[in-house]
């Protein structure tokens, strides 16, 4: 049986990834410190014999060593655990560096020691800072990039270390704006989509920061899970295994939408009578973002399948079911 570790397994993306790996017949070892992850995200599969869950912090090397040595042999290490909040990273740069960079580099060396086949790291579009050249190519993130937060800087340094690794094969996927079921709307750091949906379902006006003409590149959770698998050399439908890839790859739809248009689409799906109000712009928000995904397309033949409207309909349906 193929054995995969998922850190951040109780999170929004990690829980979807663990669930898909289980459906493909993997044995999955999930690790999460539950600082932002939620047990309810993994309740549907926590009792499966192929799944084991460990509440642990990736900075705790003795605990992580014990878990990983017991889990060996490990085929795939999907590393999603991180400080993901930009404001938290600004207030806590030390914890952010220990978690996003130091722990990642240590886990990478531990995976080499344990002969893990592939180490797949969750990178971020924040690695590019406020990049004016659009669409954004992988090589635009350099040591000279002016990162807007410790989050962006630590993700960049971690991605750089992972992408250089040949054993295990290191892959860093730089995700743009991910959305979908299980994204936590109650978090103050939540994505704009989950915030808009919550406001719409409560019958409140949708609040847009600034003039709303800023653009983002949104990608649906199912497309994200597929690219994790394909990059690792796992067929996302059959589970068939080939060699993993290596390097850094952007993951987005390579299509941008204004925040105003996004609000209009969500309003049209939930309640066309809702109003849209504009607030002062938020400091530090980038103006435009758009991924160039040609490297992922040409290297492993992946491209996104979900359009924004169909992804939003699925996401809204999930939120309505939670009420």
Which residues, in sequence order, are CB contacts of 143 under 8 Å at separation 6+? none
80 phi/psi in degrees, rounded to 5: -110, -15
CB-based contact 172:162 (threshold 8 Å): yes
Residue 51 host element (H or E): strand 51-55
Contact 58, 99 (CB under 8 A): yes
Of 243, 244, 227, 241, residue with least CA distance to 301: 227
| Cβ neighbours for 216, distance < 8 A, ≥ 6 positions apart | 176, 177, 192, 256, 257, 259, 262, 289
Asked if 156 is an active-site residue, the reply is no
* Cβ atoms 125, 252 nearer than 8 A: yes
* Catalytic pick among 128, 151, 156, 179: 151
Please identify every residue annotated as catalytic. 151
């Amino acid at each position: 049986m193929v054995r995969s570790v998922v850190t951040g397994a109780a999170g929004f993306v990690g829980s979807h990834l663990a669930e898909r790996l289980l459906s493909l017949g993997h044995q999955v070892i999930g690790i999460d410190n539950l600082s932002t992850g939620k047990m309810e995200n993994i309740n549907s599969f926590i009792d499966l014999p192929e799944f084991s869950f460990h509440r642990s912090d990736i900075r705790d090397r003795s605990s992580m060593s014990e878990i990983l040595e017991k889990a060996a042999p490990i085929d795939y290490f999907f590393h999603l655990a991180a400080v993901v909040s930009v404001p938290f990273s600004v207030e806590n740069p030390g914890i952010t560096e220990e978690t996003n960079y130091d722990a990642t580099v240590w886990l990478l060396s531990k995976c080499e020691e344990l002969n893990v086949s592939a180490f797949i790291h969750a990178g971020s579009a924040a690695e590019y800072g406020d990049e004016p050249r659009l669409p954004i190519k992988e090589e635009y993130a350099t040591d000279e990039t002016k990162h807007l937060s410790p989050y962006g800087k630590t993700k960049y340094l971690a991605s750089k270390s992972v992408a250089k690794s040949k054993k295990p094969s290191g892959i860093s996927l730089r995700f743009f704006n991910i959305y979908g079921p299980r994204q936590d709307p109650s978090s103050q750091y939540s994505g704009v989509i989950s915030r808009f949906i919550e406001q719409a379902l409560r019958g409140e006006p949708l609040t847009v920061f600034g003039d709303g003409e800023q653009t983002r590149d949104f990608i649906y959770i199912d497309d994200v899970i597929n690219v994790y698998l394909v990059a690792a050399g796992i067929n996302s439908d059959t589970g068939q295994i080939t060699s993993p890839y290596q390097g850094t790859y952007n993951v987005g739809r390579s299509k941008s939408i204004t925040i105003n248009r996004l609000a209009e689409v969500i309003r049209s799906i939930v309640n066309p009578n809702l109003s849209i109000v504009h607030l002062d712009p938020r400091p530090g928000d980038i103006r435009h973002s758009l991924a160039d995904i040609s490297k992922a397309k040409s290297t492993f033949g992946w491209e996104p399948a979900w359009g924004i409207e169909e992804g939003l309909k699925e996401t809204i349906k999930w939120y309505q079911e939670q009420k």
